[in-house]
Amino acid sequence: MFRKTVRGGVHPCGHKSLSNDSPIRYFPLSDTLYVSMQQHIGAPASPVVRPGDHVLKGQLIASSQGNISAPVHAPTSGRILALAEHTAPHPSGLPVLVATLEPDGLDEWGALNPPSDPMALSPEEVCIRIGAAGIVGMGGATFPSAVKLNLSLNSQIQTLIINGGECEPYLSCDDRLMRERATLIIQGILLMQHAVQAREVLVGIEDNKPDAISAMQQAAQGSGVQVIPVPSQYPMGSEKQLIQQLTGIEIPAMSRAAASGIIVHNVATAYAAAEALYQGKPLVSRIVTLSGGAVTHPGNWQVPLGTLASHFLNRASGFNEKPARLIMGGPMMGIQLPDLNVPVIKGTSGILALTENEINHTNPGPCVRCGNCVRSCPMGLLPLEMAANIRSGELKKANELGLHDCVACGACSYICPSSIPLTHLFNYAKGELAQQQKARQKMENTKVLAQRRERRLERQAKEKEALMAARRAAAAAKKAAQQQKEEA
C-alpha cells in the first residue's frame, strides 16, 4: 500500500515500451573516446596523465580537486592522444577539458583490488572507496556520492531511500538495470546503509515497472530492504516527492533531507557502489537509454564513458527520419543538445531523438487562468503568479512566492493549455537572482576590504604619528642634555 498521496504531478505518456522490452546490450568501443574532466557537480577533475601515456582500463586519469569533486578513470586501455577542450553536453555548446583516448582494442583492466569483505569495512572506509571509484549520483544530479554519504554519516540518518522511480518519459535504463542486476543493486544498497548507519531502507519503484519490482523484491528477501511500489506519477522520482510518498514526511522549504534523518540515492548509484567494492571497478561506463520516434532501434546499452553521442546513435540504431530535437536525459528535465558531437558522461541516462510529432511547437498564448499549473505543481507553488512577477521584473516578489522551492520538474509547462514556458521563466529568474546575489556579495566583500584598508591606513597613520612623536621627544631630550652639558 502507498503510505501517502503527494500533491500535484502530471501523467505524461510514458513511451517506455519503445526501449524497455529488450535486454541491456554492450556497446562496442569507439576508435576514439573523449573523457570529460567535468562529469559531476563541483570542481572539475585535474588530469594526472599526459599525451602519449598508455593507460589501463580503470586507471586514474584525473584526480578530484576541492571539497566537491570526483575523480575520472580510463574507460578502456589505450593511449592518451591529447588533453584539450571539446564540446560539452550542455545547451550552450561551450567547451570543457577532455582527455582524448585512443583504445588499443585489448580493453585490459588495471589491477583490481576489492576488499575481501566490503561489509567488514568501517563506514568511513566505504565512503572513501566509493569516492575513489568516481561514483556520482547516476539519476542525473551527478553530485559526488562520497561527499553526500560523508555528510549523511554525521547527520544521524534514520532512513535510506533508494530511488527506482524513473518517472521521466522514454527512459528505461533503471528499469532494465533492476530487472537484470537486482542482486548487485541490493548489495550496493546494503553497503550504502552501512556507510550512513541507517536503520531502515526503502526502495521506491513506480508501479508501471512490475518486472523490476518483482526482481528487486526477490533479491531483497531476508536483507531487511523494503521494496515498495509507488504511483506512476511525474515527478515521483523527485527527492522530496518520493520521501513524502514513502514516509509521509514533508521536507521543509530551504532544508536538506538529511536534516530530517533521510538520504536518497539512485538505484544505478547503488549498483556502481557494489561494482566498486565487490569487484574493485571504478565507474567507467553506464546504462544509457536510446529512444524517441526518430530512432530506428530503441533500447538500452552499457556505454563506455567518453563515447560520442553521434557514434553511439549511428552505430546502435540510426534514424527513421531527421530528428526535430535531440535531448540528453529525459524530455521533462533533460537538456537539449545543439548537436551529437558530445561525449557520454556519468549523468547521461538517455539520448532521445524526437520527431516533430513528439514535441510541442505551439506558440505561447495568454494565460487563461485555468489553474492547471497550480494543481500540477508538486511543491504547492503558484506558477502563474510567479511567472507574472518575473515578466514584470519583480523577481524578489516571485522569490517570496516560493521560486527557490521550484524543482524545475516542468509539470506546469507540460500541463499549460497556452504553452507558456513557465519552467524556462523560473530557471531564468533563478539565474538572475543568483547573479544579483553574487553581485551583492561582491559589493559586500569590496566594502569589507575598503573598511579594512581604511582601518589599516588609520592604524599606520597613528603608528607613524607615534613614531614621529617619539623621535621628536628623543631629539628634544638629546638637545636638552646637550644644553645641560654645555652649561656645565
Give Cα 328 to chain centroid, integer Å.
13
**What one-letter code names the amino acid at 22?**
S
Residue type at 379? M
Q: How far apart are CA 162 and CA 178, in angstroms?
A: 12
How many residues are listed for the chain in this entry?
488
Known binding residue 167? Answer is no
Q: Which three cell numbers stand for residue 7?
A: 500533491
409 labeled binding residue: yes
User: Does the annotation list 416 as a binding residue?
Assistant: yes
User: Are 29 and 76 in contact, with CB atoms under 8 Å apart?
Assistant: yes
Of 10, 148, 154, 85, give the one whose Cα is nearest residue 163. 148
Give the CA diameter of the chain: 117
* Cα dihedral 154→72→292→294 (10° resolution): 170
> Binding residue per annotation — 377?
yes
Query: Environment class of residue 444 by beta-carbon count within 10 Å: exposed (0-12), middle (13-18) or buried (19+)?
Result: exposed
Instruction: Give whole-number Cα distances, 213 to 81, 132, 451, in Å.
Output: 44, 31, 62
Among 130, 78, 120, CA closest to 99:
78
Find out whether 367 is annotated in a ligand binding site. yes
Is 13 annotated as ligand-binding? no
Q: Which residues are annotated as a binding site?
A: 367, 370, 373, 377, 406, 409, 412, 416
Q: Which residues are annotated as a binding site for [4Fe-4S] cluster?
A: 367, 370, 373, 377, 406, 409, 412, 416
